[in-house]
Amino acid sequence: MNVSMRAWWNHSYGTSRSPVNEFKMGMKVEALDPRNLTSTCIASVVGVLGPRLRLRLDGSDNKNDFWRLVDSNEIHPVGHCEQNGGMLQPPLVYVNPGCYCGPYLDPRKVCQLPMQFGPGAISRVLRESVQSLVDAALDQKQIFGMLRQGDGKVIITASFDGKSVTVRLPAIDKRSDLWSFMEILFEEIMCCEQFFSSEPIVCTKCTTDKKAAGAGTSSSVTTTTSNGTTKRRCSAESSSDTATATALVVSSTPPKQTRKTVPELEAATSTTCPKMSADPAEWSIEEVIYHISISDPMLAVHADLFRRHEIDGKALLLLNSDMMMKYMDLKLGPALKICNLVSRIRGRRHFSL
């Protein structure tokens, strides 16, 4: 909050005289959650009546609106928490079902996810959102193996190989840390980076790709009724159509490598994703090629090099750019891209089966 804003706030609401209400509809404040007075959230002004404000926590509905006097010590200008060492709770996490969900999530289960998680404490929003991804997996073992371990409060459960297992996530108590965790996880599961967001959005990237691919390929459709209610439904594709989805083909010498559109990759991988081990060291040569190709289709042209040099999971983890440039005759650009993928794969090998 800049000096002029603070001066205006103190002048209007920080004196003993009768407060002057200069708030306008849509303005933002930090407010204590009336359902949990230890939690501070972002709220919007949705009503003004004399010296009183009608507030709505971001992500909430009108059933939870509440009134506060403009000079109440339960509301503050945006930035107050950060400036005073407080902890601002993220209001919620929005789910954007129109985004590409990657090769590890089941599009039909994604359709059943709630439209949002929260509002609530960071630990609750984190637990609910991450657990939903595990529950929506084509193979829970794969997603579970991508989760970073730590000493936080949030515990995630999964079921595979006839047993139930748990993992404790890192300690996360800041909004920025929550989104950093999500960003890394989304890179791992190879879904759109805007699959979860801090506010409702229409992902222009995925929308453009789906329009380019033509109608009828989307796995989920979001519609808004005349009364403003948001509904989601799966596309009505038959089981025979799903069974004949074209798999991602790794071509050794294509005349020109074209990047598949989001819907094409979704159709290809939602039913043909191999049951790869959660430990990358156990991957076969073909599984290594599959992972690299689905992570970055532009690298698929180098598939034969990995076969010729017998790069399986163990060898992949030992690769560096010098090796690839010297012995595999790769150019610097592709070598650096593959190194980046290898670094991310190494980062999730903490999980012990």
Q: How many C-beta atoms lie closer than 10 Å to residue 27's C-beta?
A: 15
pLDDT means per 10 residues, the chain with 353 residues, are 59 62 90 82 90 84 87 88 74 82 88 83 89 93 89 93 92 83 89 86 71 48 41 37 32 37 40 63 88 80 88 90 88 87 70 40
Triad 246, 188, 294: Cα angle to 5°: 25
Residues of the chain with CATH 2.30.30.140: 27-84
Global pTM? 0.47
Max Cα distance, the chain (Å): 82
Helix (H) or strand (E) holding 12: helix 3-13
SS3 call for 68: strand
Q: Where are the alpha helices (DSSP H) in 84-222?
A: 107-110, 122-135, 140-146, 175-189, 204-213
Q: What is the CATH number of domain 27-84?
A: 2.30.30.140
Tokens of 327: 């012995």
Q: How would you classify the pairing of strands 36-49 and 52-57?
A: antiparallel
164-171 long-range contacts, CB within 8 A, separation 24+: 167/351, 169/126, 169/130
pLDDT at res. 296: 78
pLDDT at res. 226: 39
Q: Domain 285-345, CATH 3.40.50.300 — does that match?
A: no
Residues of the chain with CATH 3.90.1150.190: 93-210
pLDDT at res. 121: 77
pLDDT at res. 5: 61
Q: What is the CATH number of domain 93-210?
A: 3.90.1150.190
Q: Where are the alpha helices (DSSP H) in 39-151?
A: 80-83, 107-110, 122-135, 140-146
Give the burial class of 48: count Cβ atoms within 10 A of its Cβ; 0-12 exposed, 13-18 middle, 19 or more buried.
middle
CA-wise closest residue to 33 among 62, 65, 1: 65
